[in-house]
Amino acid sequence: MKTKTIKMAAILLVSTALVAGCGKKKVEVLPPAAEGTDYGQPQPAPEAPASQILPGSQEDFLQQVGAFGDRILFETDRFNVDAEDQAVLQRQAQWLAQYPNTRAIVEGHADERGTRDYNLALGERRANSAKNYLTSIGVDASRIQTVSYGKERPSALGSDEQSWAQNRRAVTVTVR
Amino acid sequence: MSLFARNRKLASFLLFILGTQTAIAQTPPPAAPVSGEPELVEFDTSKTRSIAVPALVAPAPADTAAGNSVALGRQIAEVISSDLRASGVFETQGPNGLRAITLPEVATPQFDYWKSRPVEQLVQGFVLVGGDGNLTVGCYLYDVGFGNETTRLGFNVPPREWRRAAHKCADAIYSRLTGELPFFDSRIAYIAESGPKNKRTKRLAIMDSDGANHRFITNGQSTALTPRFSPNYKSILYLSYVDGNPRIYVYDIDAGRQRLITQSTSPTFAPRWSPDGKTILYSMAVSGNTDVYKIAVTDNGTPVKLTSSPGIDVGGSFSPDGRQIVFESDRSGSQQIYVMNADGSNQRRISFGSGRYATPEWSPRADLIAYTRIAGDFRVGTMRPDGSGERLLTDSWQDEAPTWAPNGRVIQFFRTAKGSGKTSIWQVDLTGSKERQLPTPVDGSDPAWGPLLP
């Protein structure tokens, strides 16, 4: 157990160093354990055998798009979809094409460094950016809803750059 | 004559000089003697005035629906004392630690005694239970140095509204001594918060201006944000996620019902009333682009779009005359404050300092606009409506969303703690030198003051 904790800490340190070193915007930190069904939390792919995951379910979506494949991250005050985000959204679109009877809700979020109303507006912009890209590559717009949570549902709980980077996000949640 | 009969007689004499009313409305103070009355000079808020508030006399003790009148006399004095102290401009003594006064003293104070404490001002009064069960509260302000009476008021209230009589008395004293308009007899709507940072429970709640008579309105199952009391206190505008999306509702306090302000399926947020309560200002995001709109409060109002920049135009508030609107926009590249006419014309930027400027709120006195200044940390500040005279009042990690006391002389905001995300409600005066936390049963954010109670 103790070794596991140390290992985990090491992973965190290495990934933090990588992020700091290259200035890449993706923060590949292991997500904290998911609590309840809050979609604000990153959902780790379950370890159960694939045969137990219902094809077309949210669990299936999370497994197919891979770690953090359900979300794209943004710079402070920005809402543009860059090449890296496009790759993430393309995998999401592939899954949505595979299961045409599913719908998706894109949740837009902001970090805690903006005022409440502005952050609601910013979250809505980010969710719409993701939606617009998904529709531009063929997902029917009627299948995608957006909702902004502003700064109300942070994914990472710290008041630091690394947490803020994880919280400026648009997360796709699928609905059957 | 028995002591009781004498007290009765004296009390009825005091009632006679106060006059009686049936409502909470204050008695117009009788014409004060002209001789010896001190001139009101420009009030120096840097100087703290000392005021003694002994318990109000209950000359004929009687039980009421709100307790015995003797206890009420003490409780009313406590509220007056606490209001005046909270204003930041007075240092109060009593009622604890002060001797009980007698009924004759109410009209003829022992000035020498109070001078020796020492104290500059003295508040005395009485509580009498009428035949109809209502309370008559007499409230007298004396200048101890000059040895004369400066203000006298009487209120006739149902026992359950005894706190309002106390706030009215404190308001009269505050106004008389500072020359400012009153503000204690008012209420606050805010968001009560609890739970972990990533799963906060946020409930709409209301309370008196001093935190008393607290009441939760929503049960916390869906997130509630940014409430605003209507000018007549009959309803509250606020944002709720009750149907899963952020939308503005008008909540009718008496009926306990709410309705959407507009049937659009787009998210709506940042609601504000016009000063006459007939129009609602709000922000709406359509395909990701947020603009400022207004709509008549009547059920079938048609939304009027006031801004059309591709950026985020959000929030805002009406000037007290209803002719102008101050709002926030990032059309220049970052959040800044803009002013426009109420029809959307003549939009112009007024904030040019360093950092970003957000959440502008026009003072009910029209002279200032309060805002959140973002430069890493959030600080609360004020500027004139033309953008001049910028002044930061607080200095903390995150002080956000200032709103005004009804008299435009105190600003209320919420403070978020770094890391934990815990929130609390604070008030600050316009010099920024007097700051205090408002007590709330749980964490609190998005505080909004209503006007002076009718």
Block residue for tokens 């002013």: B339
Instruction: Tell me, yes or no, whether A6 lies in a domain.
Output: no
Query: Beta strands B148-157 and B435-437: pairing type?
Result: unpaired
Contacts of B96 by beta carbon, 8 Å cutoff, 6+ apart: B78
User: How large is the C-alpha radius of gyration of chain A?
Assistant: 16
Of chain B, the end-to-end C-alpha distance in Å amounts to 43
Establish whether the linkage from the previous residue to B227 is cis, with ω within 30° of 0.
no
Q: What pLDDT was estimated at residue B322?
A: 97
CATH number of this structure's domain B3-36+47-178: 3.40.50.10070
- From residue B151, give the alpha-carbon distance in Å to each of B23, B55, B84, B125, B143: 20, 18, 15, 11, 9
The confidence score (pLDDT) of residue A19 equals 39
A7 found inside a domain: no
Q: Is residue A11 part of a domain?
A: no
Q: Does B186-452 match B3-36+47-178 at the fold level?
A: no
Q: Residue B265's pLDDT is what? A: 87
Q: What is the pLDDT along chain B (454 residues), one digit of tens a residue?
A: 455 556 666 666 666 656 544 345 444 433 333 333 333 344 455 566 899 999 999 999 999 999 999 999 999 999 999 999 998 889 999 899 999 999 999 999 999 999 998 999 999 999 999 989 999 999 999 999 999 999 999 999 999 999 999 999 999 999 999 999 999 999 999 999 999 999 999 999 999 999 999 999 999 999 999 999 999 999 999 999 999 999 999 999 999 999 999 988 899 999 999 999 999 999 999 999 999 999 999 867 899 999 998 999 999 899 999 999 999 999 999 999 999 999 999 999 999 999 999 999 999 999 999 999 999 999 999 999 999 999 999 999 999 999 999 999 999 999 999 999 999 999 999 999 889 999 999 999 999 999 999 8
Domain ranges in chain B are 3-36+47-178, 186-452
Distance CA A79, CA B287 (A): 13
Interface with A, mutate which of B314, B373, B415 (most A CBs under 10 A) = B314
Task: Return the pLDDT at B23.
Answer: 44
Residues of B in contact with A150 (CB under 8 A): 246
Under 8 Å CB-to-CB from A36, ≥6 apart: which residues? B199
Cα distance between residue B150 and residue B173, in whole Å: 9
Q: Which of B2, B134, B122 is nearest to B55 (CA)?
A: B122
Residues of chain A with Cβ-Cβ distance to B312 below 8 Å are 118, 121-122, 125
- CB contacts of A148 in chain B (<8 Å) are 246, 267, 285
To the nearest whole Å, the CA of B419 is away from the closest chain A CA by 5
Q: Number of CB pairs < 8 Å for A and B?
A: 102
Is residue A59 in a domain? yes
What is residue B49's predicted lDDT score, i.e. its pLDDT? 85
For residue A154, what is the domain's CATH number?
Answer: 3.30.1330.60
In a domain? residue A1: no
A164, part of any domain: yes
* A48-65 confidence digits (pLDDT tens): 555 689 999 999 999 999
Tell if the CB–CB gap between A77 and B226 is shorter than 8 Å: no
CB contact under 8 A, B314 and A118: yes
Minimum-distance CB partner of A128 among B196, B288, B446:
B288
A113 to chain B: closest CA residue? B376
Residue with tokens 């985020």: B312
ipTM of the complex: 0.90
Distance CA A121, CA B177 (A): 45
- Which of A79, A111, A117 is the mutation pick for testing B, counting most B CBs within 10 A? A117
Contact A127 B288 (CB under 8 A): yes
Per-residue pLDDT at B89 = 87
Q: Whole domain around residue A74: which residue ranges?
A: 31-175
Instruction: Choose among B422, B421, B423: nearest CA to B412.
Output: B423
- Backbone region of residue B386 per phi and psi (left: phi > 0; alpha: psi in -120 to 50; beta: other values): alpha
Q: Give the pair of three-digit tokens for residue B89.
A: 């401009």
A113 contacts on B by Cβ (under 8 Å)? 374, 376
Interface residue ranges in chain A relative to chain B, Cβ cutoff 8 Å: 35-36, 38, 40-41, 77, 79, 112-118, 120-122, 124-125, 127-129, 132, 146-148, 150, 152-155, 157-159
Asked if A90 contacts A64 with a C-beta cutoff of 8 angstroms, the reply is no
Is B277 touching A (CB cutoff 8 A)?
Answer: no
d(CA B374, CA B295): 30
pLDDT of residue B12: 64
Q: How far is CA B339 from CA A116, B269, B326, B378, B383, in A?
A: 20, 19, 4, 22, 12
Burial B87-126 (b: 16+ CB within 10 A, else e): bbbbebbbbeebeebebeebbebebeebeeeebbbbbbbb
Under 8 Å between Cβ of B412 and B187: no
Q: What is the DSSP string of B253-294?
A: TTTTEEEES---SS-EEEEEE-TTSSEEEEEEEETTEEEEEE
Mean pLDDT by 10 residues, chain A (176 residues): 37 39 40 42 55 90 95 96 97 97 98 98 98 98 98 97 98 96
Count of structural domains within chain A: 1
* A129 to A132, B4, B188, B283: CA distances (angstroms): 5, 79, 38, 19
Handedness of CA B18, B21, B23, B28 (dihedral sign): negative
The residues pairing with B51 across neighbouring beta strands, listed in sequence order, are B92, B121
Cα torsion for A63, A65, A68, A72, to the nearest 10°? -150
Q: Give how far Cα B399 sits from Cα of A111, B87, B206, B324, B445, Å.
A: 16, 20, 21, 26, 10
CATH architecture of B186-452: 6 Propeller (2.120)
